[in-house]
Structure 1
Amino acid sequence: MPLALLALAIGAFGIGTTEFVMMGLLPNVADDLGIPVPTAGHLVSAYAIGVVIGAPLLTALGARVPRKRMLVLLMAVFTAGNLASALAPDYELLLVGRVLAGLPHGAFFGVGAVVAARLVTEDRRARAVAAMFLGLTVANIVGVPAATLLGQNLGWRTTFLLVASIGVLAMGSLALLVPRMPAEPGGGLVREVRALGDRQVLLGLLTAIFGFAGIFAVYSYLASMMTEVTGLAESSVTLVLALFGIGMTLGALLAGPLTDRALRPTLYGSLAALAVALGVFGSVVHVRWAALVMVVVLGAVGFLTTTPLQMLVMNKAHRAPTLASASNHSAFNLANAGGAWLGGLAVTAGWGWTSPAFVGAALAVAGLGIALLAGAMDRGRGAVADVAEAGAVADAGGSRVVARGGERTDARLPARGGERVGRQGRGSGSRVLGPVSGAGRPPLD
């Protein structure tokens, strides 16, 4: 894998650390600023609002900016936001700092995913994207616990100074390791928005909102579930979160190769496994060893969904993938807020601390249903395209690549202006794949 992926992973590590560390520092921040803990909790929401707003906005504004420069600028905004948080004299300005820190989150992952995919051959694109996401998962194992411990002992402002320094390190790494890369050909706001309006892209984003909401319905209340139902001490919560992070890392390692091999089956399988795992977790959470094992499983199957969802929207918006890729992270944050809200409603209704797991399972099933519907619609669209393509094949020679049962085989297809035309997976429709001489093959759906 190229070293540039390490630079992307460092940026992801910093983003993951600042996103989740506030949850562990809320009592410290509340005590220092003289505000109630629930009020301090709005600082978590402020970051999420920054992500939802910033992902489409910054991506659209930077559509014509070269990719390397865009990544460095995004990390500069991230660094400024964390520095502002560290120096904020009051609660209101800390809120502003958190929104500012969240603004580049989705755009960084959106642009970074496109850059990662362009650094490698077509058959390794998902693995490259998953490698970038490893920085996010490692943040949950190392970054968040270490930053939380630092903030509890040296003050919460020290934590954000540390994260700002990670941002500076990421900027230097990106400038040094990422090759010069132009913006997407013909890029621009209108083109990006048009690509975002594709039906398959919208269904992919909807799948992310429902499917990922399932895991956040539980993650948001994991500490309370483990202390109130499992019977663990509060001091063990950090260990539980680290176990979840280990599961996320395992999921990221599996997601890349599986997605490169078969995108849609990986997505279907991960969502189905998530629904089952959430149901099992809700049933065994009162058994300590089983609950701890299932925490790892939940982290793995939950994060296994991210790479195929990311690749799906990038593939379906292939002419202008950056805004769709970034908007996927807005969808993840909407899932975060929606899953936490629905899980909280179940607890408030008196259904008990295990109820968020079953709410999450229902949300994962809904996400799977949307994904299956999108796949069926895509196959139907591809079948129509195949009929039209068959007539063209009968009248001309050339080579093509056809997917059969998840495998690609060579056949005859007309060349157009020195380019070969093919079908991406089963039912994806035909599209230009690239020059005849040695262009890589896109991953199968």
Structure 2
Amino acid sequence: MQNQNNALREEASSPTNTPVRPPHGSPWLAVLSVAIGAFALVTTEFLPVGLLPAIAAELGVTEGIAGMMVTVPGLVAALAAVLVTVGVGKTDRRYVIWGLTATLVLSNALVALSHSFPLILIGRALLGIGVGGFWAIGPALSTRLVSPEAATRATAVVFAGVSVGTVAGVPAGAFIGELFGWRTAFEAAGVVGLLVLLTQMYLLPKLPPEKAITFRQLPELLRVSKARLGILATVLVFLGQFSAYTYITPFLSQVTHLGATTISTLLLAYGAAGFVGNLIGGTLVARSVRTSLIVTGITLGVAIGALPLLGANAWAATALVVVWGVGFGMMPISVQTWIFQAAPHAMESGGAVFVSIVQIALASGALVGGMTVDHTGVSGAMALGGALALAMAVLIAVWAKDDGQPSVKLHAVH
């Protein structure tokens, strides 16, 4: 999980919106360092997705158990999003970002060097701290580095890092893993993380906090009935997405019988389709968030759910994976816009809660999908994911009776 609601909330809470001047170079270089940090985090969080078969084979675990490499950081990130938001208090946000990026470096080093699966999971737990903490406070900081007029553009730059990580990170990791081994992929991610950390230490200025968040403020989002409905929809669709997506590589290998290079290329196409989905989702939420959620659920449900039936055919599997990518691109902007349209007054505290919910759903999806893979096979995980996504569409179609225009304009999170 990546979150522009946090950017908006801190921007809104700033009394002066005066940009903080970086010590070296242009403010946009500092923004870029945050964007590259987002890229590194997204890439590392989902890196196991393209490497599961190789990891499972070397460590002597099932692919379902290997999927814990996605589950563990998601669960830890859910806690970190809240604990970091509250716990950092009045600490200079520059130091917080440095510390969170450092967990990325340590995580990749531990995973790359460990031959024990429990130690690897500890390394992935470290990553969860970085992921949760970064999405709770990181994107918001980019708006403080530039003038108020350029704040939206700065946030867009950060989320471009997310998009690049989604499109290129996982297939690049799978490609490196195929050529040099899966450990090399994590080593490369660690090197990128170290370079990002050094860049941030050089470019980021002092970033004193503007307002501290307390635990008492966190439940505010949950008191709004429309927001609660959106949270349930979020849980269903993220469960469906990651119960299936975590095991897309084993499915394409075992059922579609594609080679590693072809799978990497198809994952790249999946990510590129996500760009298109993001544009479609942005257009739909401007008209009707309810419609956007329903279309997202149906797109994901049909594409994922049809894979067990048609996925043995390479051309059919390719088409379904691309459509799946479009649905994935629509998903975050749709659920996020619904929730913060429902409770714009709760944006101050709601960002950390939303990040936690997304990460719990993501981790739980990977866990349930892994259990399904181990008991029924990879096709079972696809069927489960499709059913959960369709359930979200039904939930919104039946229970979401009202739908106004979005009160804030948000961009995709991952």
> TM-score, normalized by length of structure 2?
0.73
Q: 1:310 to 1:120 in 2, by over 3 A?
A: farther
Structure 1 or 2, whichever has the larger Rg, is: 1
Partner of 2:21: none
Partner of 2:384: 359
- In the TM superposition, 1:256-405 aligns within 5 A as 256=282, 259=285, 263-314=289-340, 318=344, 321=347, 324-340=350-366, 343=369, 354-371=379-396, 375-376=400-401
Q: 1:264 to 1:220 in 2, by over 3 A?
A: same
Partner of 1:22: 48
Partner of 1:75: 101
Q: Which amino acid aligns with 2:331?
A: T
Q: Which amino acid aligns with 1:366?
A: A
Q: Which amino acid aligns with 1:364?
A: A
Unaligned runs of 5+ in 2: 1-26
Asked whether the equivalents of residues 17 and 143 of structure 1 are also in contact (C-alpha less than 8 Å), the reply is yes
C-alpha distance after superposition, 1:384-443 (max 9, x if no partner): xxxxxxxxxxxxxxxxxxxxx75xxxxxxxxxxxxxxxxx75xxxxxxxxxxxxxxxx44
- In the TM superposition, 1:196-215 aligns within 5 A as 198-215=224-241
Q: Which amino acid aligns with 2:389?
A: A
Q: Which protein has greater RCO, CA pairs closer than 8 Å, 6+ apart?
A: 2
How far does residue 122 in structure 1 lie from its aligned partner after superposition? 10
Decide which moves more: 217-226 or 110-119: 110-119
Decide which moves more: 281-290 or 11-20: 281-290
Asked whether the equivalents of residues 171 and 264 of structure 2 are also in contact (C-alpha less than 8 Å), the reply is yes
Aligned pair count reads: 382
Q: Distance in 1 between matches of 2:380 and 2:352?
A: 32
C-alpha distance after superposition, 1:328-362 (max 9, x if no partner): 34333433344445556666776x76554443332
Unaligned runs of 5+ in 1: 380-404, 407-423, 426-441
Asked whether the equivalents of residues 60 and 192 of structure 1 are also in contact (C-alpha less than 8 Å), the reply is no
Q: 1:113 to 1:335 in 2, by over 3 A?
A: same
Q: Distance in 1 between matches of 2:197 and 2:140?
A: 18
Q: Which amino acid aligns with 1:248?
A: G
Partner of 1:49: 75
Asked whether the equivalents of residues 80 and 128 of structure 2 are also in contact (C-alpha less than 8 Å), the reply is yes
Aligned-residue Cα RMSD (Å) equals 4.1
Q: Distance in 2 between matches of 1:66 and 1:170?
A: 19
C-alpha distance after superposition, 1:41-91 (max 9, x if no partner): 544433333223322222221354455554333223322333343454744
Q: 1:354 to 1:94 in 2, by over 3 A?
A: closer
Secondary structure in structure 2 of the residue aligned to 1:232: coil
Q: Distance in 2 between matches of 1:107 and 1:322?
A: 16
Q: Distance in 2 between matches of 1:366 and 1:194?
A: 26
Q: Distance in 1 between matches of 2:296 and 2:161?
A: 21
Q: 1:273 to 1:41 in 2, by over 3 A?
A: closer
Percent identity of the aligned residues?
30
Q: Which one has the bigger strand percentage?
A: 1
How far does residue 295 in structure 1 lie from its aligned partner after superposition? 0.8
Q: Say whether 1:187 aligns with 2:213.
A: yes
- In the TM superposition, 1:127-146 aligns within 5 A as 132-146=158-172
Q: Distance in 1 between matches of 2:295 and 2:379?
A: 24
Partner of 1:429: none
Which among 134, 138, 145 is matched to residue 112 of structure 1?
138
Q: Distance in 1 between matches of 2:133 and 2:282?
A: 21
Q: Say whether 1:221 aligns with 2:243.
A: no
Q: 1:110 to 1:289 in 2, by over 3 A?
A: same
Partner of 2:84: 58
